[in-house]
Amino acid sequence: MQCFMRAPKLSKSEESILLEESRKVAALNGKRLGLQDDNDLKFLLRGSHLLKVKSNSWRRERFYKLQEDCKTIWQESKKMLRSPESQLFKMEQAMTKDGFLMYLLSDDGNVFEKAHRRVYQDMTRPLSHYFVSSSHNTYLMEDQLTGPSSTEAYIRALTKGCRCVELDCWDGPNSEPVIYHGYTLTSKILFCDVIRAIKNYAFKTSPYPIILSLENHCSLEQQKMMAHHMQTILQDMLLLAPVDSNKSLPSPEQLKGKILVKGKKLSAETEDVSDEDEAAEMEDESVKIEVESKKMSDKLKLAKELSDTVVYCRSVHFEGFDGANSRPSNEMSSFSEGKALKLAQESGTSFIQHNIKQLSRIYPAGWRTDSSNYNPVDMWNVGCQIVALNFQTKGTEMDIYQGRFQENGFCGYVLKPDFLQDQNSKFNPKSITEGPWRTRKKLQVKVISGQQLPKVNKGKNSIVDPRVIVEIFGVQRDNDKKQTRVIDNNGFNPYWNETFEFNIDVPRLALVRFMVEDFDTSTKNDFIGQFTAPFTSLKQGYRHIHLLTKNGDQYPSATLFVRINILDA
């Protein structure tokens, strides 16, 4: 019996180095396992045969136990010897093959810029100068009509970096307000339970402020209960007064650890406020009937206690771009995706200037009862900050969304480009002219190979036939899509070696998506994995792309190997 397995042929100096390293690591593992004083085991670990067969202390069980101990120490030693720290040592001034592979798969060999995995942007600008990760109807786990509501949905969104969550509040039993999608069959959850969940998970992923977007349909009594729950549960987290005397919005840095409320606020003249009901835009007939039967007035009584919780995010109806500069910066408006898209197409530059000083929230169209999503890029291109998506729905739109907020430490706030912060900017995403935004680049992507692509079709005879699709999302003229050929029956190590070229006019707004699918001639292609990143976060050279699942989680070993080259166009 010998403990060391046969190794590939090495020079004598390499063999002695490796043997010495192995013995050191084996000794450490033996000590860690409490076997450092076993003389028989020490003898085995020197690579020697154990000839002792008969003695009072020797039994067959002892022999088998020694074998197992030896194997355990050897396997643990191999793991340590394959770690980046030990593999990157140089033999004769050269990196080992395993060491080079470990380097390529490390953060240094990743396609995503390592520095962008931490907060690297200026966080002292006004809130309106940032894109904010935001969720629509956060409480829903599935569709908009009959699906369950759950506090778990808030926890999931917050742990994925979401910084603006939505609460649709209605009167509940026992004077306790509830949250659900009004006029529908979605289940109900207690408002106070949601507030507790938000308190517990608000700052686990990011220290920067949370915005609670309230859609209030409650009676005065239950509005007071909402205010009471927020103040007693959130305590010092809840922002109840301005942080300074400036007229502009405060910065994420100033609001660290704080929770802001977005909602209606009383004026000195009246106790009534206009009602904002997203359900009124839904195209489901039963919902329309409910809305019409209950909508006797578009006015709502507002409790002072709830009004006082609104400081920086006062919800108002949009009255047009005229006179926008004279409006208080704490006023913000909500737009359906259709209205926002129309404004972006017809008045792109005005929309951008509006969004420099004030916050805009965008939400999905009423016909999306299946909780599908719209393309958020069109809204970001005109500076809209709170672009709310249905986080529970996976797909291209959510991949793009998570890709945008992957940078800046995944903190939920991404600083807008300078030309979306400049009040004198003439940028219009629908008509790209010369300006500081136009820094033309040529992106060359060589898709070389894939590694350990998972089998998503669980059919008995199914084998992965992978194809890679590379897409650009940005201003309209930059949008592009190219794909490799299909590799038949090889998900383990497919080899493409194909090069694509993309021309990008506005790189600061562009995102690049790498998607792998399993091609099928008779049915819809199966999604295998993807990775999306801002163009400005890509690293050049030979890089590995670590693929993500539909849920946005990283596969343990599925990767693409590519070469990225960025040139001035």
Catalytic choice (129, 136, 217, 354):
136
DSSP string computed for 120-151: -S---S-GGGEEEEEESSTTBSS-SSS--B-H
Place of tokens 């609104």: 310
Instruction: Report the candidate in 354, 306, 345, 304 with the shortest Cα–Cα distance to residue 326.
Output: 354
Q: Indicate if 181 belongs to the active site.
A: yes
Residue 189 burial (CB count, 10 A): 22
Neighbouring-strand partners of residue 421: none
Residue 209 carries which DSSP code? P
158 residue type, one letter: L
Please report the sign of the dihedral spanned by the C-alpha atoms of residue 321, residue 325, residue 331, residue 337. Answer: positive
On whether the CB atoms of residues 94 and 84 are closer than 8 A, the answer is no
Residue 309 carries which DSSP code? T
Cβ-Cβ contacts under 8 Å for 556 (sequence gap 6 or more): none
Cβ-Cβ contacts under 8 Å for 115 (sequence gap 6 or more): none
- Taking the CA of residue 218 as centre, how many other CA atoms within 13 Å lie in the half-sphere pointing to its CB? 31
Please report the sign of the dihedral spanned by the C-alpha atoms of residue 253, residue 254, residue 259, residue 262. Answer: negative
Q: Tokens in use for 266? A: 């009383």
On whether the CB atoms of residues 45 and 122 are closer than 8 A, the answer is no
Catalytic choice (116, 129, 181, 217):
181
Q: Indicate if 544 belongs to the active site.
A: no
Neighbouring-strand partners of residue 532: 513
Q: How far apart are CA 393 and CA 101, in angstroms?
A: 36
Active site residues: 136, 181
